[in-house]
């Protein structure tokens, strides 16, 4: 009952404080509004950027280790690439060796790709297509969503048959009048390929990487008819091996250790020699991304912090004025038995409420920001950021109101009643 009365009276006093000098209140709350807007806007955009970038790297899959010539994240020096360029590429023989001997992997696949490819069908053609040659188990490394037709069969992959899965936009450009082009034929580098399926439409990639919509998938041995790859030479078109681990192998520690040991044996490396291959993890890219966005988040807090500091002083000023204007009322309340904590809580509640109004206004501006066009970037105001904004506003109100509230609570009732 006492709590409800406290809330009711505080709301009333806060509303009167707002109405008594609206311009003063708006100017005082502007700092909190700008501060919350700055912080939550930066965090919202950073979260949205990070989410969109992570989604763009979903093709790397989960619980997968990639064996390659090059590391995903490069090196720490300007000439780091010189240490890697003469490394041999991973070979088809190494893929077969790992597939046969590894005990801690559930699936192993080798693949390669070529960019800027032209694909033709009759008088129609489309260029700048990514051509991907894949072996068995590739569908476990990267999700393949077939909308029409089917995926490659094991016989087609192992036999290196000339069959192809088209991306959505590729199929649309080559066969504009055919709903399902499965069974039709296309030409890739003058070789004839039979269409067996069409991928589901993915849409534009946020990072500008080639979308699945502009990609064609053929068997790895068919790809080797077109390009020199898979022999392991350092100067040929590179291949890549993906290895999927078991769920019980937390962190894929066992798989990574077995890959490293097997590859060193296969390549005849001595104990004192360094690895001449890279074991890549998708989370390495995620960690690099997170480091960049952490810096941006700190910048948002610094920019917003100054605004909130000004806003905090503004709220404290309002509360000191409110205490002075209501001194006689405070004296009357205390003479009727109101305890110090009641007066203290009343002014603290009012201060927090005023700060929350500023914070809610800032959050409203951020919410409106999510409707602004950002190209392929989807900006979403998340619930954690809303809670953070309200929490920070409450803390600012609490800190800004603690001194005025303490002054009000310690007023002598006799002196306070006599005040004009």
pLDDT of residue 397: 85
pLDDT of residue 383: 87
Residues of the chain with pLDDT under 70: 1-7, 9-11, 13-21, 24, 53-62, 74-80, 204-210, 283-293, 338, 375-377, 416, 418-420
pLDDT of residue 146: 93
For residue range 351-361, list pLDDT tens digits in order.
Answer: 888 888 888 88
For residue range 15-33, list pLDDT tens digits in order.
Answer: 666 666 677 677 777 777 8
Q: Decide if 279 contacts 65 (C-beta within 8 A).
A: yes
pLDDT of residue 147: 93
pLDDT of residue 301: 77
H/E run at residue 26: helix 22-56
Q: Rounded to an integer, what distance in angstroms lies between the CA atom of residue 32 and that of residue 392?
A: 10
- Please, where are the H alpha helices in 175-219? none
Q: Rounded to an integer, what distance in angstroms lies between the CA atom of residue 231 and that of residue 111?
A: 13
Q: Rounded to an integer, what distance in angstroms lies between the CA atom of residue 227 and that of residue 157?
A: 16
pLDDT of residue 211: 77
Cβ neighbourhood burial of 207 (10 Å; 0-12, 13-18, 19+): exposed
pLDDT of residue 101: 93
Q: Rounded to an integer, what distance in angstroms lies between the CA atom of residue 112 and that of residue 152?
A: 16
DSSP helix/strand/coil, 377: coil
């Amino acid at each position: 009952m006492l709590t409800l009365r406290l809330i009711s009276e505080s709301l009333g006093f806060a509303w009167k404080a707002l109405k008594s000098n609206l311009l003063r209140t708006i100017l005082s709350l502007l700092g909190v509004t700008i501060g919350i807007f700055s912080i939550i806007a930066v965090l919202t955009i950073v979260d949205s950027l990070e989410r969109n970038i992570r989604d763009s790297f979903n093709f790397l899959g989960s619980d997968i280790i990639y064996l390659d010539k090059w590391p995903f994240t490069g090196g720490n020096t300007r000439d780091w690439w010189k240490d890697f360029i003469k490394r041999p590429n991973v070979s088809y023989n190494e893929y077969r060796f790992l597939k046969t001997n590894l005990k801690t992997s559930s699936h192993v696949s080798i693949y390669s790709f070529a960019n800027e490819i032209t694909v033709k069908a009759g008088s129609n053609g489309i260029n700048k297509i990514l051509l991907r040659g894949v072996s068995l188990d590739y569908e476990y490394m990267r999700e393949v969503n077939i909308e029409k037709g089917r995926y490659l069969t094991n016989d087609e992959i192992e036999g290196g048959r000339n069959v192809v899965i088209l991306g959505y936009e590729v199929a649309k450009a080559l066969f504009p009048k055919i709903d399902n082009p499965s069974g039709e034929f296309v030409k890739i580098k003058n070789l004839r390929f039979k269409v067996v399926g069409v991928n589901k439409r993915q849409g534009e990639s946020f990072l500008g990487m080639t979308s699945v919509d502009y990609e064609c998938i053929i068997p790895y041995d068919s790809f080797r008819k077109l390009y020199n790859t898979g022999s392991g030479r350092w100067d040929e078109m590179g291949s890549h091996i993906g290895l999927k681990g078991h769920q019980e192998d937390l962190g894929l520690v066992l798989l990574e250790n077995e890959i490293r040991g097997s590859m060193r044996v296969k390549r005849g490396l001595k104990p004192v020699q360094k690895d001449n291959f890279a074991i890549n993890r998708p989370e390495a890219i995620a960690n690099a991304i997170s480091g960049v966005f952490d810096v941006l988040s700190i910048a948002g807090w610094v920019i917003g912090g100054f605004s909130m500091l000004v806003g905090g002083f503004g709220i404290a000023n309002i509360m000191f004025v409110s205490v002075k204007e209501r001194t006689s009322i405070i004296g009357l309340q205390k003479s009727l038995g109101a305890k110090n904590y009641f007066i203290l809580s009343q002014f603290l509640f009012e201060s927090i409420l005023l700060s929350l109004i500023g914070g809610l206004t800032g959050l409203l501006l951020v919410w409106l920001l999510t409707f602004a066009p950002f190209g392929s970037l989807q900006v979403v105001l998340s619930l954690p950021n809303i809670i953070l904004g309200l929490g920070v506003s409450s803390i600012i109100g609490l800190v800004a109101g603690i001194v005025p509230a303490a002054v009000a609570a310690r007023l002598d009732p006799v002196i306070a009643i006599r005040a004009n």
